[in-house]
Structure 1
Amino acid sequence: MSCKKYVEVTARFDVDGTVFPLEIHWEDGAKFEIDRILDIRRAASLKAGGAGIRYTCRIRGREKYLWLEETRWFVEAKESD
């Protein structure tokens, strides 16, 4: 089962207002640089619920989804017991 994991993100705003995430910060202090944005679209998180702008990102050679839901960023994470 998955849940929303809200994360801190460093992002860049273009002059036209487009937001590009650059780095994800976990609560334990770990930082993950986003190597490349592969896709940006409005989409729902089918695993964790919620919707917003979904960024398909390449991080350390793996594709991951990152959502911007109004003013907060989240990823899909496994629920801990």
Structure 2
Amino acid sequence: MRKLIRAYIFIETKPGTSLEVVKRIKSKVKEVVQADAIYGRFDAIVIIETPDLEVLHDLLYNVIEKDPDILHTETALTLTEIR
């Protein structure tokens, strides 16, 4: 069984739009494992799992970052899962 790539996407949104951004991402991206509006430096976090980097790249640049209420994203990839 092939391991999935897990990405944590930290999102800065326009003020007052984080809940709507999270809802839109959850409805558009089937690879979402979890998506939440958060407090702190970023306004939302989205966790997605994809089969390869090409799919991740496509989701980031052609779906998520096209949202007009998203100002900035930072993505962290999981190196290893500790159980």
If the length of structure 1 is used for normalisation, what is the TM-score?
A: 0.31
- The structure richer in strand per residue is 1
Greater relative contact order: 1 or 2 (C-alpha under 8 angstroms, separation 6 or more)?
A: 2
- The structure richer in helix per residue is 2
If the length of structure 2 is used for normalisation, what is the TM-score?
A: 0.31
